[in-house]
Structure 1
């Protein structure tokens, strides 16, 4: 149980960081939010891979990891788009 939690955190951190590198432009996200997006993407990617029988390979489950990364990229895009509407930047009045 503890190993699964640590694994989710480590994989989530890696997947979240890679997703932020792949999304063009600057993302205004904290490290904590990046970690949360990565963990959610890793868990959803694992769940989807298991549902479709894609995670029953020997060795590294590349399809599962690519799915996790794709979901993390979508998550980063969603979070940054939602965040853009809430913050006041240059040229905005903030009202």
Structure 2
């Protein structure tokens, strides 16, 4: 349970990193949606890491977090496309 709560908290940070990694013409969504994408990216990254054979280490699983940031970036781009905000407002 603590692992999931930590993943959600880090998901908020990952959402902001995902927005930063996403192409600039695809990241024009509200901050609340960015944070939800970050939580989703963190959970997807956690799941993918396990599916790819990742195991718990005594330190930080850097690859798990890289996968999470990339998943969040994809979710940010998908959210921008779905909400019709893939182009910056003028």
| Kept in 2: contact 1:9–1:35 (CA 8 A) | no
Give the 3 Å change call, closer, same or farther, for CA 52–40 of structure 1 in structure 2: same
| Kept in 2: contact 1:46–1:55 (CA 8 A) | no
Gaps of 5+ in 2: none
1:38 has 2:38 as partner: yes
Q: Aligned runs of 1:55-74 on 2, under 5 Å? A: 55-74=55-74
Q: Secondary structure at the match of 1:48?
A: helix
> What is the distance in 1 between the residues matched to 2:13 and 2:37?
11
The runs of 4+ residues in structure 1 deviating greater than 3 Å are 3-6
| Alignment correspondent of 1:93 | none
Give the 3 Å change call, closer, same or farther, for CA 38–55 of structure 1 in structure 2: farther
> What is the distance in 1 between the residues matched to 2:60 and 2:7?
16
Residue-pair matches, total: 86
Q: Secondary structure at the match of 2:23?
A: coil
| Kept in 1: contact 2:22–2:74 (CA 8 A) | no
The root-mean-square deviation of aligned C-alpha atoms, in Å, is 2.1
- Max Rg structure: 1
Q: Aligned runs of 1:71-86 on 2, under 5 Å? A: 71-84=71-84
**Structure 1 length as normaliser, TM-score?**
0.75
Give the 3 Å change call, closer, same or farther, for CA 57–41 of structure 1 in structure 2: same
